[in-house]
Structure 1
């Protein structure tokens, strides 16, 4: 009797250690996920700040282009006024007859015209250069904004995938726990029933408890997987054995199938956790 008590104490001690280890591992995983989420938030904030800076630069560039257009308009107006003034001076004022005894110096007459043409050509060339550079700057800015948006969207998508995988893994773990608990409860009820005891001799609470666990297991399994269907068949067969007073028990078969199902589902949960 003392050996049995010592064995039970050691078993409880090992179970407590396993539970504590599982909780510590889960806490470490949660801390790692929280740190990853914080790092992602910091990266997204940095990207948003870069986008704001680029928007400010784009606005300054637009203001400079607008000022250049204003200067171009003023220059064009000045040049037009100057040309109009010269034309008006030649058409309205009467020429003063001057007798020149020396050869005409055409350079004096061509100099203002050459100056005007030079100013207009320089202005047009400058405006064209500004326009080309402005277009290149705007294109580069748009490309940079597009890259930042793509990086941001990719980061958000990856974080969404990791979160979704984590949620799926947690849900599958809860499902595994529920299935294991229901199978354990069902086997406990079956084991507590004597093979020679007829099912109708059980009290209403025991009957209800037996059928309750049986139906819960049927609702938890996947009818498209063969071993899940085999598990339900074994459970129904075990109930029929109790009803028909058969001494044959299928507890070992039910445990074997359950272990295979739970191990496979646990491997799937670990795969999701590694992927996230």
Structure 2
């Protein structure tokens, strides 16, 4: 029973008692004749007070339930966001791993034709074009403010510069070029491994 219903019952009960008093106005009744009326009014009043208290308790329970629901929704939203981010980072890691592997494979292919004859015939141009595209793709995936990314990008720039300049006619200089290519490949590989490891650790903290 809500407050409106209780007030309506009290008003009805008071109207009945008023009518009874008017009928008994000429013959003053004994005080005990009013007892049932007083008891009835008191009962309704008590019910009204209890109803108000019950409504207050219900409101507190409702507020508590709403607060718990908000907290649950916030937690669910946080977990969902973390899952989405983790999924995206895993895909990023896999793409970088595949592209880096492909890049190193192209470098090895170009090394097989890194000689005067092949460069004179233009056999290197298509491979260099493929390497350049792969290099650009990798660069766009990296954060050029992080040390490992900077090392990766520098290694690729060093390699492509040597490849574009072509093999030196001097034998000793040519050997130095091949050694520099190999050293930069090693630096590239180590930097990429470090990046992938760090990113995988980040993903695990989100799961």
TM-score interval (norm. to shorter): 0.7 to 0.9
CA distance in 2 between counterparts of 1:199 and 1:213 reads 24
Compute the displacement of 1:203 (Å): 5.1
**Map 1:186-225 → 2, pairs under 5 A:** 186-194=103-111, 195-196=114-115, 198=119, 201-202=122-123, 204-225=125-146
* 1:256 aligned residue: 190
Match of 2:11 among 57, 63, 73: 73
Match of 2:159 among 235, 238, 254: 238
Q: Work out whether residues 86 and 203 of structure 2, in 8 Å CA contact, stay in contact via their aligned partners in 1.
A: yes
How far does the alpha carbon of each residue in 1:78-134 deviate from its partner, in whole angstroms, 9 at most, with x for none? 2212222344x47xxxxxxxxxxxxxxxxxx551x5533x44543443232112111
Counterparts in 2 of 1:137 and 1:199: CA distance versus 1, 3 Å: farther
Q: Work out whether residues 110 and 127 of structure 2, in 8 Å CA contact, stay in contact via their aligned partners in 1.
A: no
CA distance in 1 between counterparts of 2:120 and 2:140 reads 23
Compute the displacement of 1:70 (Å): 3.9
Compute the displacement of 1:251 (Å): 0.8
Counterparts in 2 of 1:200 and 1:85: CA distance versus 1, 3 Å: farther
**Map 1:1-16 → 2, pairs under 5 A:** none
CA distance in 2 between counterparts of 1:125 and 1:199 reads 113
For structure 2, the 5+ residue unaligned runs are 168-176
The number of residue pairs the alignment matches comes to 190
CA distance in 2 between counterparts of 1:199 and 1:186 reads 24
Compute the displacement of 1:191 (Å): 1.1
